[in-house]
């Protein structure tokens, strides 16, 4: 069995509450995992290749802070039954 949760908002304002965006999941293989975050114009701002790669609200986790707004998260993953899934959601970044 698998369970995947993609949040729809986070607040990367360094208050140690909800500062990172990532996937909460069980039942996923660590290989075959990809989390991509795109801005409203379709520009890639973050890519994670492991379930424990979380976005900190900066460009590729090392650049300038991304502006507040709505982003798109696209998650691709493989479960232990070798099935591939793609899930997409909107994410609100609020500082």
Q: What is the pLDDT of residues 6-43, one digit of tens each?
A: 999 999 999 999 999 999 988 888 888 999 999 999 99
The Cα 78–Cα 89 span in angstroms is 18
pTM for the model stands at: 0.92
- Portion of the chain with pLDDT greater than 90, in percent: 78
- DSSP per position, the chain: --EEE--SEE--SSSSSS--B--EEESB-STT-EEEEE-TTS-EEEEESSTT--B-SBGGGTSSBPPSEEEEEEEEEEBTTS-EEEEEEEEEE--
- Residue that the structure tokens 């990532």 belong to: 22
């Amino acid at each position: 069995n698998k369970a995947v949760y993609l949040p729809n908002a986070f607040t990367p304002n360094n208050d140690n509450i909800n500062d990172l965006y990532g996937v909460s999941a069980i039942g996923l293989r660590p290989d075959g995992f990809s989390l991509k975050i795109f801005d409203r114009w379709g520009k890639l701002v973050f890519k994670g290749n492991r379930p424990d790669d979380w976005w900190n609200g900066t460009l590729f986790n090392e650049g300038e802070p991304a502006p507040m707004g709505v982003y798109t998260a696209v998650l691709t993953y493989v479960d232990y039954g070798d099935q591939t899934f793609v899930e997409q959601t909107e994410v609100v970044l609020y500082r």
